[in-house]
Structure 1
Amino acid sequence: MLKTPTKNREKLIILLALIVIATLSFQLNFFRAAESSHFESFDKGSQSLVLGSIVADKLSLEKHGSHIGFLSIGESFDYMKNMLDAYPIFSGEVPDKDVFYSPYKSQYGIQGPVFSKAYSLFSLKTIEQLQLLNSTFFALVIALITLLYIKIYNLRFATIFFIVMISSPWIVVFARNLYWVPALWFLPAVFALLAYQAKTRMSQAIFITLVGAAVFLKSLAGYEYLSAITLFACSVFVIAPIFNSSTRKKRENLTLFSLTFAACVLGFICALLLHAGMRGDTILSGLLNIFEQDVKRRTYGDPTTFDEVFKASLQSSPLDVLKIYTNEWNTYLFAYLPGATFKIMIIFSALGFLYTTLTKKSLDKNNALIFTFFFITSSSWYLLAKGHSYIHTQLNYVLWYFGFAQALLYTCTTYIAVLLKDFRSTLKERSLKKSNAIIVFIFGFCALTFYSTDSKRENEFKDEIARLSTSDGPTITTPSNLTVKLTRNGELVLYSENCRQVDLKKTFYLHVYKTDPQTPEDNYQNLDFEWKQFELRPPRWPSRYANSCIAKVPLPNESITKLDFGQYSITNGSIDISWRDSLSLEKQVSKITATDLSDANWKNGVSLHGFFVSNNFRNRQALKVGGYLKFSASGLRRISALEYTDSYINITVDGAPLNPVLDGYPNEILLQP
């Protein structure tokens, strides 16, 4: 009699412990899973939509039928200028009369009224307090899934799931964001797990209905990742039979899978119809608007019917998208493992499957099913919404954590255990057959890992060659068969697709002639270099770029008139020049604009006789002491001084003080010949 209360108490303690641990990770980045800058700045633009709703409700602003929207200070909303205005407004730093609201109707926006109600109901004051509600809700959902996995799957899979979730940089940065509300991504899975556990048809029906209701809520908060959310919820009916010997028949699991999938689709359709009423005069016109403006833009629409910024995404293939999210990791994977580990773990799992199948003489169906189903789950959005995924690489790596990252770690640990067991058995039995199989496995793993790592380098090299071949900028082909190009960001690039005839061991000389030398001795700067100092390492054989070469040499942050370069060697104390060439430079812009900055010393980038612009190569080439500029209000002025910093060029002109309003940002300043 006492066992059940004791067990329930233990489960409750474990649940609370998991919630606390997950909340610490999600709210505070306690385990440093994500870089601090990534954690603090992640997608603040989207979150501002929810803050806009809260402020609009607080100030009784007209929301024009929307539930979320942007805020701006003192003017109508401009995406580039006012994206983050909601933060000082929410903090009370802006007078109410200067606040403008811009409706956002690309989704229904249920998170707006929900957080607005919580804000007033609990008398909250800060964004962090709102985020804590979000993080705790998400932690509760993850903790529940973990406990259910312990019961339905096994302790190892459940532990892996929880560790991956709290140590993934992508999950952690999303976790507290008020726009994304990631608890809604996984809430359908909680009800699906409960439906799998249910003993009666009535209980199953109730939980499957709740799955549909959860997807309905998620769809009202945005349609992102719905394919992955749906398949992850349905996964229990495919994966659970692997872990337990339930008497339930396959047909019943298939029926529950189908009903759960149908409930998800129905929840989405209900939300879509509700949203369509916001997007058109009728539901039908709203649906057409959503399909033409949103669905096509995010999937497989005609590139010619959308803005130029979407062209590359709509022309890309699903394979292009998968390559991006497999190869181009710039964060940890989970548990402080580098992102490059992702591809290595895929290779290890594939070889582990082959090794186990061949040595055990039977197909390793269980691990193959876990790997394959969760891969389909996570990658479904990459394939269905490839336009969205191609563009939003700052977001969509999170999709791998809808089961695949966890499945990957699970299968890898499984195959490591198999290898260790076989290795011990080999030592004990002195079995030549097993030892050969282990050697082949290790050799194959190393070879494939080496090849996959080099294939990334090949893609990078190929892209760089293509960019250099098509980009503009002063270019010459030298007697040594090297092409030399000056790039927009002020790098001197030397490259060739066939460097066999170039002796890269000889020293390169580079003389940089300045536009305004301070002394005769300062006429040029000597920047001699060795190739390996600046080379982009080429891929190895058998890549077609194995004999190609690229070196990118940074140039000084000053205006330049000419570059002399070549190669030489020193023999018996005398200099032997192999080849030489030069590049004369001209200004590449005809107009500039002062920097958009106003503070105590500057207004619109202007202060008395001076203004400043970005320190980039084109601006450096355009400006020189003694040159003339024509301002909108102040007319023709002579440049009397130039001062360079790492980020800016400070320009002083003669004559009366400039007019910050009419001469400063955003007015154009013309360069005179």
Structure 2
Amino acid sequence: MANYRDMRIFQFSQSALARKIALWAVSIGLLFFGFLSNVWHVAEQQWFDTHQRDTESLIIGRMVKSRQDGIFSVGGLTGAGVTTNIQQDWISSNQIDNQYAAYLNKHSFDKFSPYMSQTGGQGIIFSLLDRPIPLSPQIKLWSFYVLTALLSAIALTAIVSWFYEEFGGCVAIFVVGSAVLSQWLTVFGKNLWWSLWAFYLPMIVVLYLLKRHRVPSNRQFIKFSILIFISVLIKCFINGFEYITTTLLMMVTPCIYYAVLDKWSGHQYVKWTLVAGLGSGVAIFFSVVMLCFQIGAAKDGFMDGVAHVIWSFGKRTYAEPQDYPEVYAASLEAGTIGVVVTYVNGIFFDLNNYLSLTNAFVSDFLLKIRYAYLMVLFIVMSALLFWRSKKMMAEPQQQSIALIWTTWFSMLAPLSWYIIFKAHSYIHTHMSFLLWQMPFTFFGFAVFGAAVLVWTKKTESPQG
């Protein structure tokens, strides 16, 4: 009898493992091919082909400079082979083309203008990979796209897998579907500059730490702080301080879920706040110091780096317009509410890529699925899930409530950037819609999937 029971347990564990492997394979495949070549036509093709080609060209420029003068020349900073200062005069389309041509044709630069607002770790890594690989530049560049798209797909699949383990296959399908259909994830997925996976790394670390250690010991808190430090340091090294407030709030989003699920005490809240704050704070400090040294190597010293960091922070937030070039005046004077409204009205998914209609109203307001529509949908689904959860057993009921709380907390992650870095958000409406996927839409669609699941199956009443 015992042997039969052991065999059944073994078969069940094998079946569960097979389902999980299948989930990872399907999710990675769907995301990878979408990121690499827009195979699902989620984004308009020309947009996909040219999106953020200007910033990516700075990585290409770094590889040319590394091949020419060494990986750590000009402090290892990314940049462009132009005579102008790209901090003041951004590169033109012709200069962007010249960057790619120089790399692909093995040319060199006479001049190099570094971009000094990011450490450029991704440029250093690609330069390290570029040097020993005995292939043509064309094949190497394609390989770098494959690597970046694959890492991005793996990172998002790790998040999908967490939803699968917590809520089951139905919810996981909704989450992976939202990632595949997001035009913003698609156009960013293989970009060498943005290295999308790095934004999600701290959140993934916290997700699985908390899942495996629901009641951590004091020694484990030290371990957690070190792991958070490493993950945030990697993020800052790979793509700098891009969307840093969103990354940090995304990182602590799992804490909200487990805090509600496990009914944390005030003592636990304080401990986790200290762990997250200490680990991420030290990582950011190290990254700022590193950037200042890099700028100092490219200019006249460490204090030049400090001055540039302060100047760069000011132009992205709420500095006085008169202290900056006129080109930044409109963004610094812009109203915060207006900036947020712009992003709320952004497009998540465009059905016009699949349908051709002449009715302008239908095309603009019905076929373009806007984030405002998703917010309304998530509110309705949150209400339905909460209502239905009253008829659930205690554990799934608490899970549903925790998911709802976490979803609406996660909305603070994108909002933090739109509000704190208002000036940056005002200018960069061609890219910052990406932040809604960090991780608000994932949790929103998880609520959607959970609501559909509980309303389409018989629920057990809670025991009194």
Report TM bin, short chain. 0.7 to 0.9
Q: 1:267: which partner in 2?
A: 283
Residue 57 of structure 1 and its aligned partner are, at CA, apart by 1.7
Q: Of residues 53, 78, 100 in structure 1, which corresponds to 2:62?
A: 53
Tell me whether 408-417 or 116-125 shows the greater mean CA deviation.
408-417
Q: 2:256: which partner in 1?
A: 238
Q: Of residues 105, 117, 120 in structure 1, which corresponds to 2:131?
A: 120
Preserved CA contact (<8 Å) 1:164 1:334:
no
Residue 248 of structure 1 and its aligned partner are, at CA, apart by 6.5
1:171 aligns with 2:185: yes
Q: 2:80: which partner in 1?
A: 70
| Mapped partners of 2:285, 2:119: distance in 1 | 13
| Mapped partners of 1:105, 1:331: distance in 2 | 34
The amino acid of 2:134's aligned partner reads S
1:406 aligns with 2:406: no
Partner SS, residue 181 of structure 1: coil
Q: Of residues 214, 226, 229 in structure 2, which corresponds to 1:209?
A: 226
Q: Deviations over 1:290-311 (max 9, x none)?
A: 11x2001000011111122211
1:57 to 1:344, Cα distance in 2 relative to 1, 3 A: closer
Q: Alpha carbon RMSD of aligned pairs, Å?
A: 3.5
| Mapped partners of 1:36, 1:335: distance in 2 | 9
1:105 aligns with 2:116: yes
Q: 2:199: which partner in 1?
A: 185
1:99 to 1:13, Cα distance in 2 relative to 1, 3 A: farther
Superposed, which structure 2 residues align to 1:424-443 within 5 Å? none
1:378 aligns with 2:397: no
Q: Deviations over 1:413-440 (max 9, x none)?
A: 5566788899xxxxxxxxxxxxxxxxxx
1:278 aligns with 2:294: yes
Q: 1:144: which partner in 2?
A: 158
> TM-score if structure 2 supplies the norm length?
0.78
Q: 2:208: which partner in 1?
A: 194
Q: 1:23: which partner in 2?
A: 32
The amino acid of 1:384's aligned partner reads I
1:197 to 1:411, Cα distance in 2 relative to 1, 3 A: closer
| Mapped partners of 1:238, 1:338: distance in 2 | 34
Residue 89 of structure 1 and its aligned partner are, at CA, apart by 1.2
1:316 aligns with 2:316: no
Preserved CA contact (<8 Å) 1:76 1:100:
no
Please state which structure has a larger fraction of its residues in strand.
1
Superposed, which structure 2 residues align to 1:293-312 within 5 Å? 293-312=311-330
Preserved CA contact (<8 Å) 1:66 1:105:
no
Q: Deviations over 1:205-255 (max 9, x none)?
A: 43442222121122222211111111111111112455x5x5875643552
Preserved CA contact (<8 Å) 2:32 2:150:
yes
Partner SS, residue 64 of structure 1: helix
1:334 to 1:150, Cα distance in 2 relative to 1, 3 A: farther
| Mapped partners of 1:368, 1:102: distance in 2 | 48
Tell me whether 31-40 or 8-17 shows the greater mean CA deviation.
8-17
1:394 to 1:233, Cα distance in 2 relative to 1, 3 A: same
1:219 aligns with 2:219: no
Query: How many residues are aligned here?
Result: 415
Partner SS, residue 21 of structure 1: helix
Preserved CA contact (<8 Å) 1:189 1:232:
yes
Greater RCO, 1 or 2 (C-alpha within 8 Å, sep 6+): 2
Unmatched runs of 5 consecutive residues or more in structure 2: 1-5, 355-365, 392-396, 459-464
Partner SS, residue 411 of structure 2: helix
Preserved CA contact (<8 Å) 2:331 2:426:
yes
Preserved CA contact (<8 Å) 2:182 2:349:
no
Q: 1:38: which partner in 2?
A: 47
| Mapped partners of 1:231, 1:332: distance in 2 | 28
Q: 1:535: which partner in 2?
A: none
| Mapped partners of 1:160, 1:128: distance in 2 | 31
1:27 to 1:349, Cα distance in 2 relative to 1, 3 A: closer
Preserved CA contact (<8 Å) 1:49 1:69:
yes
Residue 139 of structure 1 and its aligned partner are, at CA, apart by 1.4
Unmatched runs of 5 consecutive residues or more in structure 1: 423-673
1:290 aligns with 2:309: yes
Q: 1:82: which partner in 2?
A: 95
Superposed, which structure 2 residues align to 1:337-352 within 5 Å? 338-350=367-379
The amino acid of 1:234's aligned partner reads V
> TM-score if structure 1 supplies the norm length?
0.55
The amino acid of 2:240's aligned partner reads G
Q: Of residues 162, 170, 195 in structure 1, which corresponds to 2:176?
A: 162
| Mapped partners of 2:150, 2:309: distance in 1 | 33
Tell me whether 412-421 or 55-64 shows the greater mean CA deviation.
412-421
Preserved CA contact (<8 Å) 2:63 2:123:
yes
| Mapped partners of 2:46, 2:267: distance in 1 | 50
1:358 to 1:146, Cα distance in 2 relative to 1, 3 A: closer
Tell me whether 172-181 or 399-408 shows the greater mean CA deviation.
399-408
| Mapped partners of 1:90, 1:360: distance in 2 | 58
| Mapped partners of 2:14, 2:170: distance in 1 | 25
- Percent identity between the aligned chains? 20
Preserved CA contact (<8 Å) 1:27 1:175:
yes
The amino acid of 1:277's aligned partner reads F
| Mapped partners of 1:270, 1:415: distance in 2 | 43
Residue 358 of structure 1 and its aligned partner are, at CA, apart by 8.8
| Mapped partners of 2:46, 2:438: distance in 1 | 24
The amino acid of 1:387's aligned partner reads A
1:257 to 1:237, Cα distance in 2 relative to 1, 3 A: farther
1:231 to 1:334, Cα distance in 2 relative to 1, 3 A: farther
Tell me whether 26-35 or 349-358 shows the greater mean CA deviation.
349-358
Residue 44 of structure 1 and its aligned partner are, at CA, apart by 0.7
Partner SS, residue 33 of structure 1: coil
Residue 54 of structure 1 and its aligned partner are, at CA, apart by 1.0
The amino acid of 2:233's aligned partner reads F
1:191 to 1:418, Cα distance in 2 relative to 1, 3 A: closer
Partner SS, residue 43 of structure 2: coil
Please state which structure has a larger fraction of its residues in helix.
2
Partner SS, residue 178 of structure 1: coil
Preserved CA contact (<8 Å) 2:317 2:424:
yes
Preserved CA contact (<8 Å) 2:253 2:406:
no
Preserved CA contact (<8 Å) 1:44 1:84:
no
| Mapped partners of 1:139, 1:359: distance in 2 | 33
The amino acid of 1:307's aligned partner reads P
